[in-house]
Amino acid sequence: MTDKSNCLMAQNNTNFMRYEGPRIINLFGKKVRVLGIRRLTPTECARLQTIPTWYKWECSDSQAYRMLGNGWTVEVIKHIFNFLPFERERATESQRR
């Protein structure tokens, strides 16, 4: 899965979104200076939702954030639909017994 983004994870409740100044982290064997938390761009949010890169937004950034936040990822819907025929067959078999 090289075309997918890694999962975004938050820390525990006591450290969630706490900014403690710049720090140095080890990223893939290299030391990187991290300045702090930044907001994801609409393009990054669209990539997380598997929106094609050719898609052009015809609205403001704030409206794009709303649409992306309220939307469902296509891959998740496909995964859910893959199980529907199986559940239908199982329900039919249980009714026959």
Q: What is the pLDDT of residues 13-23, one digit of tens each?
A: 555 555 566 67
> Is 12 a member of any domain?
no
Are residues 48 and 71 in contact, defined by beta-carbon separation less than 8 angstroms?
A: no
Alpha-helix runs per DSSP H in 1-97: 42-48, 61-70, 74-96
β-bridge partners, 27: 30
> Is 54 a member of any domain?
yes
> Is 70 a member of any domain?
yes
Model's pTM, two decimal places? 0.48
Torsion angle, alpha carbons of 8, 10, 11, 12, to 10: -140
> Is 43 a member of any domain?
yes
Residues of the domain holding 67:
38-96
The token duo for 31 is 């030391």
- The domain tally of the chain equals 1
pLDDT tens, 39-89? 888 998 898 888 888 999 899 999 999 998 888 887 888 888 888 877 667
